[in-house]
Structure formats: structure tokens, C-alpha cells
Amino acid sequence: MFNTKIIKSRAYVELRGNNEALIEGCDLLKSYTEDEILLSLDNVDLKIKGRKLLMEALTDDRIAITGFIISLEYVY
Amino acid sequence: MFIDIFHFTHKLFGYFKMSIEDYHPEAFINLLNKKKLFLWNLMPINAHLFTFRCSLFSAYKVVSEAKSAGVKLTIEKGIGLPFVINKYRKRTGLMVGTLISMLIIMLSNLFIWDVQIVDGDMTPELYAALKRVGCYSGRYIMDYNVTDAKMQFLLENDEYSFFAININGTIAMVELKKRVLPDIEEYDYSYCHIVASDDAQIIDITAQRGDPVVKVGDVVEKGQILVNGETMDKHNVIHPVRSIATVNAKMNKLIEIKIPLKQPEKVYTGNELTKTRIVVFGQQINLFFAEFPDYELCDVESSFDRIKLFNMIRLPIDSFAEKFTEFRIEEKVLNEAEATLIAEKSFDNDIKIYVNDGQLISKTYTTKINTAENCLVLYGDITFIKNIAVVEPFDYVPIPDETTSIPQD
């Protein structure tokens, strides 16, 4: 695991298959529905599209998402 | 595995399932996140209603944050062990029973439940030896010094060269190795002749050391010297040696076997009695009153069993059972065929004893009923070849040389 306090300028996104995603360096949860999650990273937004998306865990700057993930999109 | 431990920890310490209702619930979630309050299973019901879970320890902070932020927060339910205990706190019997059972489980982990031998079986002798060094079911584990036990066991039991006790949970695994001594034959340096063990006719003779004094075809008597241990060189000087020789000889034996026609026979009466004793944590409990039954004559069969719950979970209970079967002795009258059969078996056994490592050449026998003694008599005649060489030590006294004079002071 990278320490995001040290590497502040980069977020870390890990995708396991199409049903599990781990995002580190997340600043803000902008919007959350079952089909779409919008997260604010350091200097970009990340849009996760899917079905029955569930935030399994939320800590300081890490989010674990499960569900049927269709796409990950960076929104500038 | 991680998920299992994660869920188990939450269930053990308890957590709340909460819901928040706000125009923009994401903002409150971000607020809790910034306050480092751990949430999980965040799920949107609709755009303004989210459900999530938080631990019992952070629930107070979550509620106070919701109050200060003016967010409508509802605690839907509490899940986990603390809530179960709280629910049944007024059922004293249930609580006491649970506590006692937990205490029993905790205490039972402090004792040895079973002793198992690695790559071997438990024998009564080994069971007694292990008990002497404190390795038995019911032994308190905490003050058990396995190093001392190991030393004591090895000192008391010479036949073992290695002994180790590994206590895995409540099971003592005992590892043993038998002492294997090197096969060293001590060489005897004493002087000896080779003599005949029986009356026989020499078939062949091979002397590795010593002078043969008989030849093939000679008939020798028991005790007669076959190979002389006092060898003589060309200067007629005697050199004593330890004779080594193989002397194969042919011999005859007459065998007479008497089989009485009235034989005692064991007849079972059908009366049986089983006496069981159980050993619980090393304490013996007899499940009977009298030690022995009232039978005059009986067979005893002992058995040992380890009791298992549902044939799966080993309990610290050993069961020892002794089965007594009554019988009486009756006299059985044999007919000639039966007596002959027994006599033939006995004759074959005798042949094995006489011939031993030798070679049987011929055997003949006749049977006859002796009415005076009421028995069947078998007269057998066997011819066989065997090694008749046996050693006979002798004391050698050297003859003083007349030419050598010893100076006298």
C-alpha cells in the first residue's frame, strides 16, 4: 500500500475483477446512488458506474466499493 | 478469512444500523469521514436517505455530530453480543448457565484430555509408564514440566532412547523411539575343541581352524572330539587355538508319543458378565460392586475404549471393560482317528525341534492303541542331517622348555 500522505499528488485505484474497487486518496464523496458514485480525488473526479453499488467500508481517505462495476471514468 | 474476522469482531463488540435523512446526506458522510469515524455498508435507499453501520464505540460521536449538524438520524437496530446479553439480562438462569458453561470450557482447557502416541499404539505398560511421569488424561497442564517428565521417563525406561511430549491444546502428543543397540558379537578368545553333540555318522567336515581328527563316513559318539584345538606344527610344537568347524552328520532318532484317549475339554456354560470401569480425568470409577464374579472357572477378556461424543469429539473418559465367560471342564473320549491326528501333530512338532536348521531325510511312524494305559502310542523313526559341532573349551598348560634356564636369585 502506498502512503497517500507522502505521495499526495496521486490517488491509488485498485480494481479486482468487475465487482470490487478500492480507492485511496479520496477527498470527498460528491454523490452516491445505487448506479453511480462520484468521488473527488486530488485534482480530478472519479465516476464509478455500475449496479447495486455498495460502500463496504469508509475510512479517512479510503473507500471500498462492491457491486457490479460497469465503468470507471475520470471527469476533468 | 479477513472478512470473517472482520464480521466476527463486529458481532462480538456490537454495532448499530443507522439511517440518515437529509437533502444532501453525502455532506454528512463526508463530515463523519473527516472526524475519522469508521462506517461500513453505506447504502443509498434514495437520494435523501442513506443507511450505514457504525461500531458501538463511535455511535455516541455519530449521534452528537448529527445533532449539531441538524441531520435526522435514526438508530434502526443494535446487532451483536452486547445487545444479546442486554436482551436476556433478566433471565438469571440462562445467564448463570451460560457463565458456568463458559467457565467449564475455560477450565477444561487447562487439563490434558487425551494422550496420543505418534506412530504407535498405547500399551498397558506404556500407559503406566506415562502415568508415572504425569502424562495422563486429567493432568493439570499449567504446572506440568515436560522437560522433567522427559528426563524421568528416559531414566526409568532404558528401552527408549527418545521421548518428547508436545501438548497441542488439550492433547498430549507423545513421541517415542526405541533404543537400538549395535549388533556386536563379543569374540571369545578361549581355546576349545569341537566335539559331537549327538551320536551320528559324518557326512562332511569343514574345519576353519584346528586339526580334524575324524573323516567322512566315521561314526562318532556324543562328546567325541571332532576337531582338535591343540594343533601341532612341523617342529612338533603344540599351538592351542579356538577351533571353528562345521560338521554335518546323519543321525537317527526314535520318538515315542503317548496320547491319552480321555482328554479334558473346556465347555462354555453360556454365562457371561462384563465389568466396566471408567477413568474420568485420571479418576477411576467402578461401575460394579464385586471385583470378580462367582464363577469357579472363567476366561477373562480385557478391552479398552476411548469414549467419543457423537463418535467424533474425544472426551477425557477412558473405559476399561473385563468380560468374564464361565466354563467347566469335561472329560472327552477321543476315538482312534482323533487321537492319531493329535499324535501326528505332536510328532511333526518334535521333528521340528530335533531337525532345527538341519535337513530331514526320512520319517516313518506307526500307531498302536495301548489298552492297559488307555492311550494311543505313536512310534516314530526319523533320519536327518544336521550340524553336530559344539565347542568344548580346554585349559592349555604350556610345557616348559628344558633348554631354557630361568635365572634364580
CATH of the domain at A37: 2.60.40.2000
Give the DSSP H/E element, type plus range, for residue B97.
Answer: helix B92-108
CA distance B24 to chain A (A): 9
Beta bridge partners of A66: A20, A54
Q: Count up the domains in chain B and report the number.
A: 4
Task: Say if residue B62 is in the same domain as residue B130.
Answer: no
The domain of A45 spans 12-75
Task: Say if residue B168 is in the same domain as residue B123.
Answer: yes
This prediction's pTM? 0.45
Task: Say if residue B21 is in the same domain as residue B150.
Answer: no
Task: Say if residue B300 is in the same domain as residue B345.
Answer: no
Instruction: Give φ, ψ of B170 to 5 degrees.
Output: -115, 10
Q: Count up the domains in chain A and report the number.
A: 1
Give the DSSP H/E element, type plus range, for residue B74.
Answer: strand B72-79
SS3 state of residue B195: strand
Query: In the structure, what pLDDT confidence band is assigned to residue A41 with cuts at 50, 70 and 90?
Result: confident
Residue B370 in contact with partner chain A when CB distance is under 8 A: no
The confidence score (pLDDT) of residue B373 equals 87
Among candidates A30, A31, A55 on the partner chain, residue whose Cβ is nearest the Cβ of B42 = A55
End-to-end CA distance of chain A: 26
Task: Say if residue B254 is in the same domain as residue B359.
Answer: yes
Beta bridge partners of B21: B49, B72
- Position B99 in a domain: no
Q: What angle do CA B56, B59, B60 make, to 5 degrees?
A: 115
B-chain residue closest to A55, CA distance: B42
Contact residues, A window 4-43, toward B, CB-based 8 Å cutoff:
28-34
Distance CA B47, CA A36 (A): 11
For chain B, 409 residues long, give each residue's pLDDT as a single digit of tens: 445 788 888 889 999 999 999 888 999 999 998 888 889 999 999 889 999 999 998 999 999 999 999 999 999 999 998 998 888 888 889 888 988 999 988 888 888 888 888 888 888 788 889 988 988 888 888 888 888 999 999 999 888 999 999 988 888 899 999 888 887 766 777 889 999 998 999 999 999 888 999 989 999 999 999 999 888 888 888 888 889 999 999 999 899 999 998 888 889 999 999 999 888 877 788 888 887 888 889 999 888 887 777 777 777 788 888 899 999 998 888 888 989 999 999 999 999 998 888 889 999 999 998 888 889 999 999 999 999 999 998 888 776 665 555 555 5
- Chain A residues with CB under 8 Å of B36 CB are 59-60
Task: Say if residue B248 is in the same domain as residue B358.
Answer: yes
- Chain B residues with CB under 8 Å of A28 CB are 30
Is the pLDDT assigned to residue A55 strictly greater than 90?
yes
CA distances from A34 to A13, A65, B38, B45, B225 (A): 20, 11, 21, 8, 111
- Position B12 in a domain: yes
Domain boundary among B155, B178, B201: B178
Distance CA B16, CA A20 (A): 24
The confidence score (pLDDT) of residue B13 equals 92
**Reported ipTM exceeds the 0.90 cut:** no
The confidence score (pLDDT) of residue B248 equals 92
Task: Say if residue B167 is in the same domain as residue B277.
Answer: no
The confidence score (pLDDT) of residue B232 equals 83
Q: Break chain A down into helix, strand, coil percent, rounded to 5.
A: 0, 65, 35
The confidence score (pLDDT) of residue B407 equals 56
Beta bridge partners of B244: B209
Residue B26 in contact with partner chain A when CB distance is under 8 A: yes
The confidence score (pLDDT) of residue B401 equals 61
Task: Say if residue B33 is in the same domain as residue B162.
Answer: no
The domain of B154 spans 114-178
Task: Say if residue B17 is in the same domain as residue B148.
Answer: no
Distance CA B156, CA B163 (A): 12
State the helix-helix crossing angle for B59-69 and B25-34, rounded to 10 degrees. 130
The confidence score (pLDDT) of residue B67 equals 92
The confidence score (pLDDT) of residue A5 equals 47
The length of chain B in residues reads 409
- Chain A residues with CB under 8 Å of B39 CB are 55, 57-58
Is the pLDDT assigned to residue A36 strictly greater than 90?
yes
Burial A34-61 (b: 16+ CB within 10 A, else e): eebbbbbbeeeebebebeebbbbbbeeb
Among candidates A28, A30, A58 on the partner chain, residue whose Cβ is nearest the Cβ of B42 = A58
List, as one string, the DSSP characters of B128-161: HHHHHTT-STT-BSTT--HHHHHHHHHHH-TTEE
The answer to whether B215 touches B205, Cβ cutoff 8 Å, is yes
Query: In the structure, what pLDDT confidence band is assigned to residue A2 with cuts at 50, 70 and 90?
Result: very low
B-chain residue closest to A36, CA distance: B44
Domain boundary among B331, B350, B372: B331
CATH number of the domain bearing residue B157: 3.10.20
Query: In the structure, what pLDDT confidence band is assigned to residue A54 with cuts at 50, 70 and 90?
Result: very high
The confidence score (pLDDT) of residue B311 equals 75
List, as one string, the DSSP characters of B335-397: -HHHHHHHHHHHHHHHHHHHHTTSEEEEEEEEEEEETTTTEEEEEEEEEEEEE-EEEEE----
Q: Give the list of residues 6+ apart from residue A27 with CB closer than 8 angstroms, or none.
A: A39, A40, A41, A42, A61
- Position A1 in a domain: no
- Position A53 in a domain: yes
HSE of B122 in the Cβ direction (CA atoms, 13 Å)? 20
Burial B376-388 (b: 16+ CB within 10 A, else e): bbbebebebbbeb
CATH number of the domain bearing residue B11: 3.30.70.260
Instruction: Give φ, ψ of B9 to 5 degrees.
Output: -65, -45
The confidence score (pLDDT) of residue B397 equals 77
- Position B380 in a domain: yes
B-chain residue closest to A40, CA distance: B30
The confidence score (pLDDT) of residue A4 equals 47
